[in-house]
Structure 1
Amino acid sequence: MMKKIYVIRHCEAEGQPSEAKLTNKGDIQALELAEFFLDTKIDRIISSPYKRAIQSIQPLANLLNVEIELNSLLSERVLSTNNYSDWYEKLRNTFNDFELKFEGGESSQEAAKRIIGVVEEVFKSENENTIIVTHGNLMALLLNYVNKKFGFDDWKNLSNPDVFLLKVQNDNVTYARLWKQD
């Protein structure tokens, strides 16, 4: 049996805090996401507890009558509790050094471990088709785990929303980007 995990980056949001809602455009994107998956069999939906992630998948969950499971391991990565003006460069550096860690934040290695744990649990479960809704940085770290060539520049090119399909067959994991942003 081939297992499929659809990894989704949330739709456009008003900001970074956990309570940040989707923008009007993000609400429309969530409806487009629901339409995108309408003919796909989905057994399970797991989401970051952040409001923007839940709002991104709620229209589809309602249509499919599938409960959204909240999992804090899928929460946004905290780069640091300090507000750095050069955060972009600091983030780039964490893609080059997975153990690099800034005050109050988590390393790429620590953040990747969270989402990889969720994915491994899903692959071991009975479900064939699962959706995981998360954030761009965690998504990029997961894709880097599957393919070491996926790096900072690939993270920069992710869209809101974005969808990747992970497939596992005979312990071989592959991924493909499914979402084509306008």
Structure 2
Amino acid sequence: MTEVYFVRHAEPNYMNHDDELRELTEKGLTDRMLVTDFLKDKNIDAVLSSPYKRSVDTVKDFADKYGHQVVIVSGFKERKIDSVWIDDFTAFSQRQWMDFDYKLTDGETLREVQNRNIDALKWTLNKYRNKRIVIGSHGTALSTIINYYDTSFGYDSFNNIKEIMPWIVKFTFDEECLQSIEMFDLFAK
């Protein structure tokens, strides 16, 4: 069995509109310790991440403490929305979840995001077969992966998790065959 722990990044600084370089807030830097604590006894073999700073920084504390290098996998990056900042993200997001082929001029469709992330996941499953892996991820990218395996995970489910940062989803695979999905809200009591 291969266990994959996707970690949606901690709280980012939304004042920074550069998607790739958006850093964590002070709260995000503190909350990433919840990730380290959650993963400490999981016997993790490898740590991967989207190339985006907020995702790398969310898993880096764990990686540093447990002697792992963070391997960057470009395929796990977040959806490109457009070349400009979108003020009404809710309306845009709803439209994308209703139409997986909708995108703005310079953006990606959810189908494109899903295909890219699933290709990266399949590569990971082959390279790290029968290992335990952590992957630094994003809300939309991770939601499209869940949707790939469980189509009932749509806009309402995405909307329910959009404020949960960090958030962990564990996928268990036998080869490339999904066995289970478990979701962990690190703030739930």
TM-score range, shorter chain: over 0.9
Shift of 1:6: 0.4
Change (3 A) 1:81 1:165: same
Q: Report the Cα distance in structure 2 between the residues aligned to 1:33 and 1:71, rounded to whole angstroms.
A: 20
CA distance in 2, matches of 1:83, 1:27: 24
Structure 2 gap segments, 5+ residues each? none
Verify: 1:132 aligned to 2:144, yes or no: no
Provide Cα deviations, 1:45-82, integer angstroms capped at 9, x if missing partner: 11111111111111100111011011222222112224
Question: SS of 1:112's equivalent?
Answer: helix
Deviation per CA, 1:120-164: give whole Å up to 9, x if none. Answer: 112222441111111101011110001000011211222100000
Contact 2:21–2:54 under 8 Å retained in 1: yes
Per-residue deviation at 1:86?
3.5
CA contact (8 A) 1:146 1:173 kept: no
**Secondary structure of the residue that 1:154 maps to in structure 2?**
helix
Equivalent residues in 2 for 1:1-182 (5 A)? 2-15=1-14, 16-17=17-18, 18-127=20-129, 128-158=131-161, 159-169=164-174, 171-182=177-188
Identical residues among aligned pairs (%)? 23
Q: Distance in 1 between matches of 2:86 and 2:11?
A: 23
Q: What is the TM-score of this pair, normalised by structure 2?
A: 0.89
Tell me the CA shift for residue 85 of structure 1.
4.0
- Root-mean-square deviation (CA, aligned residues, Å) is 1.6
- Cα distance in 2 between the residues matched to 1:56 and 1:108: 24
TM-score, scaled relative to structure 1: 0.92
Q: How far did residue 178 of structure 1 move?
A: 2.1
Structure 2 vs 1, CA of residues 172 and 23 (structure 1 numbering), >3 Å: closer, same or farther? closer
Of residues 16-25 and 40-49 in structure 1, the stretch that sits farther from structure 2 once superposed is 16-25
Question: Quick check: 1:79–1:91 contact (8 Å CA) kept in 2?
Answer: no
**What SS class does the counterpart of residue 6 from structure 1 fall into?**
strand
Paired positions, count: 181
Quickly say closer, same or farther: Cα 1:76–1:4, change in 2 above 3 A: same
Does the CA contact (< 8 Å) of 1:27 and 1:56 recur in 2? yes
CA distance 1:82–1:146, change in 2 (3 Å): same
Structure 2: distance between partners of 1:59 and 1:30: 7
Compared CA separation, residues 5 and 90, structure 1 to 2 (3 A): same
Distance 1:48 1:126, change over 3 A: closer
